[in-house]
Chain A
Amino acid sequence: MNWGSLNDFLAMGGYGSYVWGSYGVTVLCILLEILSLKGRKEKR
């Protein structure tokens, strides 16, 4: 186990904003793509 606590996990050894900025935007892009595909299917 790499992390002693949730705070440790969120802090990512001081690189939290870079690591979560990467994962967060990735999740956002994937959600947007899935939503746009769902919208398309219903439109046509």
Chain B
Amino acid sequence: MTSDLFRFAAPQAFFPLAGKLIPWFSVLAGVLTLAGLYVAFFVAPTDHQQGEAYRIIFIHVPAAWMSMFLYVVMAGWAGLGLALNTRLSGMMASAIAPTGAMFTFLALWTGALWGRPTWGAYWVWDARLTSELVLLFLYLGFIALKGAIEDPARADRAGAILALVGVVNVPIIYFSVQWWNTLHQGASVSLTRAPSMASTMLAGMLLMALAAWMYSIATTLCRVRSIILGRERDAEWVRMTKEQMRAAA
């Protein structure tokens, strides 16, 4: 069993596996998004304080969760590559970064559009908002740093150090609403307390969060495949795979 798992640590074995998994995760992402949007707009009731503006949270909360979660996964892969010198790890970290940056941007963007009608401001230099902005810069810095170094092995090592140092920011984002007196509200959903919202609102949010997970897995696998092809382009199996792909197209 473990030897099977380790087999897929080789880019050559992982490439076809990723290709087989992408359609499944894409379909799941699509179905969960449709279900989530249906609950978000047609089942969940109007919020008695925020009116319809609250419907933004069905994107905002899943995007914010994904932005933090993907960073931790990215740093995990990067750290694994640094420790074990495995080729696939650095490629996985590179593949996650753009999707993580996109969700971070969306968390900030939707937060601004929610904040304007609810707080009266698009932006405040609040601990939660500021640390999330720092997260966006960490993602962009990671992408830029790796892009600036020609040798992939050196780029992986430098990126890994940046990613690992930046991981300290994730608990700061998560606990900022407890540590500081922030305008941003505390967590509405936690593992220890009952959620402070209607169950249909929670259901819509969780469906959208699951959809975001499936989407992230699909895009990461898709991106890692093209990174593998690029980095291993001199390998015999890549030449053969490319010929097969051309023949199939």
Contacts and interface: CB of A to CB of B under 8 A. Distances in A.
Interface of A: 1-3, 9, 12-15, 18-19, 21-23, 25-26, 29-30, 33-34, 37, 40-41, 43-44
B222 A18 contact: no
Contacts, number: 71
A29 B230 contact: no
B46 A13 contact: yes
Interface of B: 41-42, 45-46, 51-53, 55-56, 59-60, 63, 98-99, 102, 105-106, 109-110, 113-114, 116-117, 215, 219, 222-223, 225-226, 229-230, 233
B70 to A, nearest CB: 13
Given A2-B41, A15-B117, A25-B106, A33 B55 contact: no
A17 B216 CA distance: 27
Contacts of B109: 22, 25
A22 B110 contact: yes
Given A2-B42, A12-B52, A12-B53, A22 B60 contact: yes
